Amino acid sequence: MSRQQSNSTLLQFLAQGDTRLHLFDMGRRVVKIPRKRFLQLEKNQMAYPAPLQRQAWFALLFQEPDRLREPIVWFLRFPLDEQAKLNLAARDDLMHRLVEWIGSDPADSLNSSGHRDAVLEQNPYGFKPRNDRLAIFHARISRLLKQPASRHYDHARSYFNGEFGWDQWSFVGYQGIADIAARLDQDDNEQCLIVALPELPASPLEAICHCLENERVSRSLANALLGVARAELRQVTPAGATLAATIRGISNSRSVSTRQQLISEVLAAPVSQDPAVLSAISGRSWEDLQQQALAAAFLERLAGNREGQPFFDLCLADLLFIPGMRAPLLKALRNPNRSSALSRAVGGFFQSLKGVGDG
């Protein structure tokens, strides 16, 4: 146990020997976590920046010096405390288990399939991402490790270039779509998508947008997504799923003004009461709700959502737990000009919290 004490963090314990360790957030977005930031998280020097369901979801990728070996990946989730900081008791429990399973030197044990299986199968902190998230993760790490894209990539590129006809999307592999999103700066992929987006049926549009939410989309591509959303808003009955997809696709864009313009225009339309639209904003565009006008408009639409008080409570509780979101949201909630519907919804929310406390 003294070896574990000398390696007081999970990062220090695992990053021994010649194995190179890469870290990824797997929650609201699939993004790389710098080692320095992960160490700060483990030492409780900062809150987890984007918690999901009050947990930290991340992936550890172990890259052997021999690049011919397949990288090893662990998917872990840890509970967070009331300040969204890592629950260190859970972290320490995992480290105790690791010492029992693979010994004090993980570098010598990671190559053993038996040890890897023990970690993955007996680990109470492990999880299996959904298939779409796995595809996005694989696209990111193949790019990171300078490996070729999947065998689905060329077929997906041909589809988005319009070679098969826009209705021939059912045979396009999701992994290929994820590869395109992860390689926007290669093979003219960004320009290809800019041209293709207005033509896409709902399903491939949603798929590519769900992949783009993890990328730093340029202003040009963001403007193309804004155009798709505006075209949908002009329909007699706009599709909430399509608008939710464009919000997700633009949510991590470098162009803050473009993504906030899109959210503003969607929130001005009745379709914004669709739970899919509201979930996209709260789940992927939460940073933009620090802007007071958007926060106020969002909360008004949330109060009138089509699933009622339980959905309002769920979204608001999730947002309030994200570091940096409490102050702007509470300011909007206390707005004396808020509607009676929002006042009732806020009252119901705090009443539900009181009920939990009484229980």
**Helix H or strand E encompassing 56:** strand 55-63
Given this model, what pLDDT does residue 2 score? Answer: 42
Q: How far apart are CA 286 and CA 86, in angstroms?
A: 21
Q: What is the CA radius of gyration of the chain?
A: 22
Q: What is the distance between the alpha carbons of residues 111 and 71, in angstroms, rounded to a whole number?
A: 10
Residue 183 main-chain phi, psi, to 5 deg:
-130, 45
DSSP state of 242: H
Token readout for 137 is: 């993760």
The per-residue pLDDT for 8 is 78
Cβ within 8 Å of residue 283, ≥6 positions away = 28, 318
| pLDDT tens across the length of the chain (359 residues) | 344 444 578 888 887 666 788 999 999 999 999 999 999 999 999 999 999 999 999 999 988 766 667 788 989 999 999 999 999 999 999 888 888 776 655 555 555 544 555 565 678 899 999 999 999 999 999 999 999 999 999 999 999 999 999 999 999 999 999 999 999 999 999 999 999 999 999 999 999 999 999 999 999 999 999 999 999 999 999 999 999 999 999 999 999 999 999 999 999 999 999 999 999 999 999 999 999 999 999 999 999 999 999 999 999 999 999 999 999 999 999 999 999 999 999 999 998 887 555 54
CA separation for the pair 46, 44 (Å, rounded): 5
Hunting for tokens 């737990």 — which residue is that? 321
**Residue 107, pLDDT score:** 52
Task: For residue 55, give the DSSP letter.
Answer: E
pLDDT at 358: 52
* Nearest partner of 24 among 68, 63, 74, judged by Cα: 74
Question: What is the reported pLDDT for 204?
Answer: 98
Q: Is 205 exposed, middle or buried (0-12, 13-18, 19+ CB in 10 A)?
A: buried
Instruction: For residue 68, give every residue at least 6 positions away whose Cβ sits within 8 Å of its Cβ, in sequence order, or none.
Output: none
Q: Which pLDDT score, from 0 to 100, does residue 120 have?
A: 57
pLDDT of residue 281: 98
Q: What angle do CA 201, 207, 212 make, to 5 degrees?
A: 120
Report the alpha-carbon angle 92-95-99, nearest 5.
Answer: 140
Which stretches of the chain are DSSP H helices? 2-6, 10-14, 35-42, 88-102, 106-109, 113-122, 131-144, 153-160, 174-182, 189-196, 202-212, 219-233, 240-250, 256-267, 275-284, 292-303, 309-321, 326-333, 340-358
Estimate to the nearest angstrom the gap between the alpha carbon of 312 and the chain centroid.
21
Task: Count CA atoms closer than 13 A to 190's CA, side-chain side.
Answer: 13
**Helix, strand or coil for residue 126?**
strand
Question: pTM (2 decimals)?
Answer: 0.91
3-state secondary structure of 191: helix
End-to-end CA distance of the chain: 40
- Tokens 């070679």 belong to 163
Q: What's the rounded Cα separation, in Å, for the pair 92 and 79?
A: 12
126 within 8 A of 75, measured Cβ to Cβ? yes
